[in-house]
Amino acid sequence: MEQQNINKQVNEKPEEKKRPTAITVICVLGFIGAAFAIPLIFYDIARQIGSWYSPYLGLSVIICFVCMVGLWQMKKWAAYTYTGFVGLNQIVLLTMGVWNIMSLISPIIVVGIALMHLKKMD
């Protein structure tokens, strides 16, 4: 009888955590945004900002992409990493003298939604 219960538990699929629609939309938009940002790394405008900006932009694209993959998989580390990345980006924009409120609105929405669904993440 005990063996039957064990077999039953092994054969049953654990409840899969369903990704919220808002996270799916964020990830799809994040993937598209990262893809569109890749060419910007190589534009002259990026080099005119400073020699450090192209590598920073490249690193930003990689971090964004990795965070979107993590959010897609509902991982807490992705929400925390993206939150830290947003903070770092805001500091960079401030030091460059190009910060404005519009550079904060969409990242804050993403962070808010990600943190709101943190309990559903692994």
Does residue 11 belong to any structural domain of this protein?
A: no
In a domain, 34, yes or no: yes
Establish if 45 belongs to a structural domain. Answer: yes
User: 46: which residues sit within 8 A by CB, 6+ positions away?
Assistant: 40, 53, 54, 57
> What residue numbers bound the domain in which 94 lies?
21-120
Asked if 117 and 23 count as a contact pair (C-beta separation under 8 A), the reply is yes
Hey, which bits of 1-122 come out as E strands? none
Q: How confident is the model at residue 72 (pLDDT cuts 50, 70, 90)?
A: very high
Report pLDDT digits (tens) over 101-121: 988 999 999 999 999 999 999
* Domains held by the chain: number: 1
Output the pLDDT for position 24.
96
Burial of 80 from C-beta contacts in 10 A (0-12 / 13-18 / 19+) = middle
**Nearest C-alpha neighbor of 81 from the set 106, 62, 101, 99:** 62
